[in-house]
Amino acid sequence: MLGQRLYKIEKLRSEIAIGQLFDRSNPAAHSVMAYPLRAVWTINPSRLAALTQTASSQTFPVESSDSSDYSDNFLSPESSDYSDYSDYSDNSLPPESSATPHRKPAPCPQFLIAVPKKKIRHAVDRVQMRRRIREAYRLNRHLIPMDLPIDIAFIYVAGEVLPYAEVLKAVTRILTRITRTLTPRNNHQPQ
């Protein structure tokens, strides 16, 4: 496990991956309901292929720091390469250059949290529920395999702000169901 904190690498930010996750015609997307949350999840095929490709072709050393921290492989405000992207505030992409580092695909599950304005009207309450869901996920992410590139979206479906204990129970049930789905049936022996 990476540690107790959530890293930027664990946040689902790819528009393509999010679109595939919520695409109703995608047979690989699964849905799990545990009130007050609904989770939509899938194994990201492009990240899985990239991970297997990088694992099989380890002939060239990857330039990175000696630290084993995953966040070191990505741009941070302290890195010198970050200044190359600061001029693109209009959401345009930076020009291709050979100095741009190639990022490795995330070898861990990525998640996103959605608290709809239609369900919770006040922004303060939406932020509070997002924080509760994020904390429940942080404490229970060990329940899912950390080496699979799984994309998970947690959608809050309740119409009112609920206590943390209910959110924690729902996140635990969702992650347990995802793990049960991923493990082969023959490993579960009837008792």
Domain 1-54+104-185 has CATH 3.30.230.10: yes
Q: Phi/psi zone of residue 3: left (φ > 0), alpha (ψ -120 to 50 degrees), beta?
A: left
- Per residue in 107-163, pLDDT tens? 889 999 999 999 999 999 999 999 999 999 999 999 998 888 999 999 999 999 999
Domain ranges of the chain: 1-54+104-185
DSSP string, 73-130: GS--TTSGGGGGGTT-TTSPPPPP-TTSPPPPPP-S-EEEEE--TTT--SHHHHHHHH
Structure tokens at 111: 């998640």
Greater confidence (146 vs 84) lies with: 146
DSSP 11: B
- Cβ contacts of residue 159 below 8 Å, gap of 6+? 119, 120
Q: How many CB atoms lie within 10 A of CB 118?
A: 7
Sheet holding 150-156, edge to edge: 30-34, 37-43, 150-156, 110-114
pLDDT band for position 183 (cuts 50, 70, 90): confident
Quote the pLDDT of residue 79: 42
Residue 72, pLDDT above cutoff 90: no
pLDDT digits (tens, 9 = 90+) for 162-175: 999 999 999 999 99
Amino acid (1-letter code) at residue 113: I
The string of pLDDT tens digits covering residues 24-52 is: 999 999 999 999 999 999 998 888 888 77
